[in-house]
Structure 1
């Protein structure tokens, strides 16, 4: 989860630098947080179904 968020942040900072904008880092970091949460929740649900 942490790696996904970190990579999203690094990508956002790179895009900010490349296009000389300042909104990419927070936008992509937030998107990475949602993606990481989705992946964790889907894994938890998958694991809980295997126990049944």
Structure 2
């Protein structure tokens, strides 16, 4: 078992969470805008942005669960 000093802080691991969430949501929104323009529809942007929000929340929650299991 590694010493606690050798592992990065669990708080330090989550400093990039905001950027990860923002990037995922941005890419989903950008893809939705592109699909709306390409196919002359108006639902892709909203749908993909919402799916991106749920996907980013899932990724963050799964990371938190993984870190909490490592602490046990």
| Band the TM-score falls in, shorter-chain normalisation | over 0.9
Matched, 1:41 2:53: no
How far apart are residue 24 of structure 1 and its match? 0.3
TM-score by length of 1: 0.98
How far apart are residue 11 of structure 1 and its match? 0.2
Greater RCO between the two (CA within 8 Å, min separation 6)? 1
- RMSD (CA atoms): 0.3
The structure whose Rg is larger is: 2
Q: CA–CA distance in 2 between the matches of 1:16 and 1:23?
A: 7
Unaligned runs of 5+ in 2: 1-20
How far apart are residue 10 of structure 1 and its match? 0.1
The aligned counterpart of 1:25 is 45
Moved over 3 A (4+): none
TM-score by length of 2: 0.71
Q: Which structure shows the bigger proportion of residues in helix conformation?
A: 1
Unaligned runs of 5+ in 1: none
